[in-house]
């Protein structure tokens, strides 16, 4: 009977040293090991998803936190969720140095283990993991850039029309492009089928996978318009100012003197504007009514 759920699990293919140990796990590592415990998941939502996994369910193996992230291989669940050895019994893969084959999962008590968590206990584990078994490489690596381009497109790119409208819509709604940072994700069956088709057929090698950003409205237009309006208004003001009589000049000087007195405190210092520290605060410039000569 075919499994009812599909998954995506992420691993880092590039070297990253944690507590003196390299935690990288690439598709090459996975293929050589064949079966591996998926330890080190430290997100509650991702942990809960792993606890739902059942033996035989299919999974996408995803390269994360690297220059070219994407789907590199296919796997399946070979052991259901069991306590992650984060309470001190760190799980390490032990290899036969001669043939490079997996011998066993040997627990070693070590606080220096990269995923050691002092807060979780053996009798009350906080974290869980599953075992995944390598199935096959993707014949064509499916890059995240392609999936993002699909998610932003309104029509199927001609190079990948073979995924069909159903597959196109399914890829657009994948958690991978909606909730990208989660290390364990559900995958709908229609999206799984589309990914399988992409991995088998390819065809996007000559495509520009950069998502075209929507251009923001140009600021040049409003500025120019404002300038034109400002010039028109300036001419109107100039005409108005020519009609002001000289008595208004004396009256304006009296208002300015009065305003200056009011801006002083009892101690003789200038009163601080109420909203002076507010970035949005501004004082409208006074329009002079003095006659131009």
Helices (H), the chain: 27-33, 44-50, 144-152, 164-172, 175-178, 189-201, 220-242, 246-262
Q: Per-residue confidence at 242, pLDDT binned at 50, 70, 90?
A: low
Angle CA(147)–CA(153)–CA(155) in degrees, nearest 5?
A: 115
Mean pLDDT, rounded, for 181-208:
95
pLDDT at 232: 62
pLDDT at 115: 79
Model confidence pLDDT, tens digit, residues 22-74: 999 999 999 999 999 999 899 999 999 999 999 999 999 999 999 999 999 99
* Spatial distance between the Cα atoms of 261 and 272, rounded to a whole number of angstroms: 14
Q: Could you report the per-residue pLDDT of 87-98, keeping only the tens digit for each?
A: 544 454 433 333
Residue that has been written with the tokens 């009514």 in this structure: 289
| pLDDT-based confidence at residue 183 (cuts at 50, 70, 90) | very high
Mean pLDDT of the chain: 76
CB 252 within 8 A of CB 203: no
pTM of the shown model: 0.66
């Amino acid at each position: 009977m075919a499994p009812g759920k599909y998954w995506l699990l992420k691993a880092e293919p590039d070297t990253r040293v944690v507590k003196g140990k390299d935690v990288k796990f690439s598709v090459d590592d996975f293929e050589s090991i064949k079966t591996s415990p998926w330890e080190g998941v430290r997100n509650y939502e991702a942990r809960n998803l792993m606890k739902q996994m059942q033996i035989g369910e299919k999974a996408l193996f995803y390269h994360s936190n690297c220059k070219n992230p994407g789907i590199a291989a296919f796997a399946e669940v070979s052991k259901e969720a069991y306590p992650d050895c984060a309470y001190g019994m760190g799980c390490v893969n032990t290899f036969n140095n001669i043939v490079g084959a997996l011998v066993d999962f040997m627990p070693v008590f070590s606080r220096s283990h990269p995923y050691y968590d002092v807060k979780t206990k053996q009798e009350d584990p906080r974290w869980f993991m599953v075992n995944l078994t390598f199935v096959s490489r993707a014949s064509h690596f499916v890059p995240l850039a392609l999936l993002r381009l699909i998610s932003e497109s309104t029509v199927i790119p001609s190079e990948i029309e073979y995924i069909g409208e159903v597959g196109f819509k399914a890829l657009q709604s994948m958690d991978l492009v909606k909730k990208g940072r989660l290390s364990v994700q559900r995958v709908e069956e229609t999206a799984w089928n589309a990914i399988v088709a992409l991995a088998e057929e390819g065809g996007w090698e000559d495509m520009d996978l950069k998502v075209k950003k929507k251009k923001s409205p140009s600021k040049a237009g409003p500025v120019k318009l404002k300038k034109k309006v400002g010039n028109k208004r300036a001419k109107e003001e100039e005409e108005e100012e020519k009609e002001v009589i000289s008595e208004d000049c004396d009256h304006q000087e009296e208002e300015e003197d009065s305003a200056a007195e009011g801006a002083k405190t009892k101690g003789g210092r200038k009163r601080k504007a109420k909203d002076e520290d507010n970035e949005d605060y501004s004082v409208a410039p006074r329009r002079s009514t003095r006659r131009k000569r």
